[in-house]
Chains A and B, each alone.
Chain A
C-alpha cells in the first residue's frame, strides 16, 4: 500500500495547505500529520480525537538534593553544560540535559535519578476526510524520530486493518531527524517549493536528502507567479535531475481565505487554484500507481 509524504525543506511554502486539499481529494486513506513539532494540519481537518496516548521518550537526569554531596563531578563530566547552581546546590537544566546518563553513572553519592521524559501526546482522530493520526510534542522537547516512526506505524496498522489504499503524510520542515524518519521507506516524496532563493536552496537540500535515502521525489512549484524566471529555473533543475514537476500553482489569496473559514481550498472553490490542485493530485495518483475510480 503506497505511502506519500508531502515535504518542503523550507517552511511556509504551502505544504500543509496542499496536504489538506489532498486529504479531501484522496479516497480511502489514512492521513498522518508527521510535523509533530508544529502540527497545523488539524487546523484544517478539525479532528475529533478517539484516543489519546501519552508519549515517553528518553530520560533526563535529576539531582536529588538530599543525597547530593556537592562534589562537582557531574558538572565537570557533563559535555552539555547542563549542570548549573540552584538555591540547594547543583541543579540540572532540563533544556540542556541530553539524557546521556554519564552523571547518573559516575556520581559517587548515587544522588542523581533518571526518570523517563514525558514528551508529548499522540492521537487517533476522526475527521470529515477520514481517520487522522497525529501528535503534539510538548514545547521544548526533543524532536523525536521515534514519535514520527510510531505515528507512521499506527497509520499503517490502521490502513491495513481497515482495507485502505493509501497513507498520506504531512511532513516536517527541514532535513533533520524527524524528516529523515518520515522519508525512509516512503513511496513518494512530494516536495513543495517556491521560486525564491530560500525555496530553491532548500529544495536542493531536500532533493539531496531524498537521493541519499533513495526515495522518489516529485515537485510542486507554489506561488510561481511571484518570480516566473526563478520558477523556470527550478523547472530546469528538476528536469535535469529527472524529477517530475507536478504543478505550478499561483500565489492566490483563496488558500488563506479557505483556511480562515476552516476549509481546505478544494472545498472553498472548484476553479482557479483549486482546479490546479486537483490536477496536481491526479498527477500524484498516477505516479503512486493508485487506482482511480472511473
Chain B
C-alpha cells in the first residue's frame, strides 16, 4: 500500500510524521521524499545512499540548416520554448515542458531530442527502511517533471523489492502536492489546531477529495491553539487518526534531527497506533 503524508500548510509536521511512521512501520517499506523543492526527509532518516542519477527532461535541439522557417513548431508550442525570430530558429530550453509536440510536427526533421537537467534522484536504505528522494536543481522552476522521474524510479525499485510506500509530499494544494498524492491508497493530512492550520486543512481536503482516496487527519501540536480543527473534522466526517500533543521535547528532538518516534517512547506508541489506523483506512476502503 502507498500512504501519502500531506498538508495544506507547510511546517505542520509532514516530515516528522512521515519519518516516524516509516521507522515504526511493520514490514518492508520505502520512504519517498517527493518534496523535491525542499527535500528534508533524509535529514531525519539519514539513509546510506547507494545510487544516484541525474534526471533530465527532453527538450528540442535545433539543426538550423534543415529548418525551412515554416513555423509549425512555434505555432504549436504553448510554452514559448521554440520561436522563429526573423530567419533564425531559437529555443528556450528552460521554458520547455517536454511534450514532444515540436519534434512531432516539424516537416523537415530539423529538431532532435536534447536535454535539460531537472535535478538529482538518489536512493538507498535507512536501516530496515528503503529510501528514495528527488532534489530539484536550484533555478529549475517546475517540480512535476522531476516528481514523475522519481516515481518511475520507485516503480523500478518496487518491481525488484515489493513493499509498502510512505510518501512525504510537498506542502500546499496545487499541482506538485496533487502529483505527490494522486497514486496513493490513503492520504494523511497533517495539521495544527490554529486558524492557519484549519484553513489550510479545508483547502487540502477540497483539493484531494476529487482523487477519491480515503483521508485521515493527524493533529500535530495539539493543545496549542483552538478547537476549530477538531470541530471541522467531526462535521465533515474526516477521522482524526492521531493527536501529537505540543511538547517542547518533541520540538527539540526535531530540531536536533532526530526521528521523534525513536527519541521519545510515548511518541513511538502514538506512531505505532497511527500506522495501524493508516492501514485500517486503506483496508476499510478496499472492503467498502
Contact = CB atoms under 8 A, between A and B. Distances in A.
27 contacts: A12-B9, A12-B11, A37-B174, A38-B8, A40-B200, A43-B195, A58-B78, A77-B104, A95-B175, A98-B97, A100-B78, A100-B99, A100-B101, A139-B173, A140-B173, A140-B174, A140-B175, A143-B176, A145-B141, A173-B11, A176-B136, A176-B141, A208-B138, A212-B138, A227-B255, A253-B224, A259-B196
A11 B9 contact: yes
Interface of B: 8-12, 15, 37-38, 40, 43-44, 76, 78-79, 97-101, 104-105, 136, 138-143, 170-176, 178, 182, 194-196, 199-200, 203-204, 206-208, 210-211, 224-226, 251-252, 254-257
A259 B9 CA distance: 15
Contact of B100 (A102, A180, A208): A102
A184 to B, nearest CB: 11
B9 A40 contact: yes
A177 interface: yes
Interface in A179-204: 180, 194-198, 201-202
A282 B139 CA distance: 31
Contact of B172 (A43, A95, A173): A173
A174 B225 CA distance: 26
A196 B254 contact: yes
Contacts of A43: 195-196, 199
Given A13-B11, A102-B100, A105-B105, A260 B40 contact: no
B138 A175 contact: yes
A100 B199 CA distance: 33
Contacts of B174: 37, 137, 139-143
B29 to A, nearest CB: 21
B194 A175 contact: no
B172 A102 contact: no
Contact of A256 (B40, B79, B224): B224
B98 A79 contact: yes
Contacts of B257: 196-197
Contact of B11 (A10, A177, A259): A10
A195 B226 CA distance: 26
A59 interface: yes
A260 B105 contact: no
Interface residues of A, number: 59
B255 A195 contact: yes
A276 interface: no
Interface string A94-114: 010011111001100000000
Contacts of B43: 197-198, 201
Interface SS of A by simple majority: loop
Nearest to A177: B141
B38 A173 contact: yes
Contacts of B171: 11, 38, 173-174
Nearest to B13: A12
Given A16-B196, A173-B10, 8 more contacts: A38-B173, A38-B203, A105-B101, A175-B38, A176-B136, A176-B143, A177-B142, A226-B252
A208 B101 CA distance: 33
B139 A212 contact: yes
B38 A256 contact: no
Contacts of A180: 139, 141
Contacts of A259: 194-196
A209 B138 contact: yes
A21 B271 CA distance: 36
Nearest to B254: A196
Given A101-B76, A205-B138, A226 B255 contact: yes
A11 B10 contact: yes
A9 B38 contact: yes
A205 B9 CA distance: 20
Interface string A139-177: 111110100000000000000000000000000111111
Contacts of A137: 173-174
Given A198-B43, A256-B225, A140 B10 contact: no
Nearest to A255: B194
Contacts of B12: 11-12
A80 to B, nearest CB: 8
B178 A95 contact: yes
A197 B41 CA distance: 10
Contacts of B196: 16, 40, 43, 259
A49 interface: no
A174 B251 CA distance: 22
A136 B161 CA distance: 42
A103 to B, nearest CB: 9
Contacts of B139: 180, 209, 212
A78 to B, nearest CB: 8
A79 B100 contact: yes
A11 B10 CA distance: 4
A25 B70 CA distance: 57
Given A40-B199, A175-B138, A101 B78 contact: yes
Contact of B175 (A59, A101, A143, A251): A143
Contacts of B44: 197
